[in-house]
């Protein structure tokens, strides 16, 4: 009984912490956007580190909105979705890879369809994407996040969505820039 109560308390605390962080990170992104609007000529190329706020991803049809952070460490993915190192950063040319947990922020990906619109907002502005394809693949399939020069967006989460434990596959959504 005590183990069950502790497990529920841990889950509730984790969700509360993530929700609180999402609110604070949203304010950080709003400040970045405001600074970019006030100083449009200044383009400082900064280095990003694990956990930095990079933007916000929205899929309007399914009501999903989540902050994008740099990196994919367990801590980062508890707080938001993470930019996959080695892929283009939001606002850069190329394919942007973003990973998230299926049981938190990327749960809604199960309801995404081809041609759905995905918005990626960063301090550089809003980029619009349209879903091309959805694929289920093995976890070690490194080709799912292409290093192509064409502007694109690849979202990755674990699959199946209602699997208990470490999921055996990956659910991949790819979109092209509109």
101 tagged catalytic:
yes
| Candidates 34, 39, 158, 176; catalytic one | 158
158 tagged catalytic:
yes
Task: List Cβ neighbours of 119 (8 Å cut-off, separation of 6 or more).
Answer: 57, 58, 59, 60, 126, 127, 128, 129
**C-alpha pair distances (Å), 90 with each of 74, 84, 152:** 21, 11, 10
By CB neighbour count within 10 A (0-12 exposed, 13-18 middle, 19+ buried), where does 70 fall? buried
| Candidates 101, 113, 162, 174; catalytic one | 101
DSSP state of 60: G
Q: Beta-carbon neighbour count of residue 38 at 10 Å?
A: 8
Euclidean distance between CA atoms 71 and 105, whole angstroms? 15
Q: Which residue has the tokens 């049809």?
A: 61
Q: Which residues are catalytic?
A: 101, 158
């Amino acid at each position: 009984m005590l183990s069950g109560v502790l497990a529920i308390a841990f889950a509730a605390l984790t969700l509360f912490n993530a929700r609180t962080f999402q609110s604070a990170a949203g304010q950080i992104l709003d400040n970045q956007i405001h600074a970019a609007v006030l100083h449009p000529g200044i383009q400082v190329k900064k280095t990003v580190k694990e956990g930095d706020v990079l933007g916000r991803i929205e899929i309007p049809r399914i009501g999903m909105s989540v902050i994008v952070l740099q990196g994919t460490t367990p801590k980062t993915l508890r707080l938001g979705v993470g930019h996959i190192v080695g892929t283009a950063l939001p606002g850069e040319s190329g394919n942007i890879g973003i990973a998230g947990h299926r049981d938190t922020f990327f749960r809604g990906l199960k309801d995404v369809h081809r041609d759905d619109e995905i918005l990626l907002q960063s301090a550089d502005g809003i980029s619009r994407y349209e879903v091309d394809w959805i694929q289920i693949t093995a976890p070690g399939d490194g080709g799912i996040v292409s290093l192509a020069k064409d502007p694109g967006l690849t979202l990755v989460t674990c699959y199946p969505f209602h699997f208990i434990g470490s999921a055996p596959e990956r659910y991949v959504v790819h979109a092209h820039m509109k």
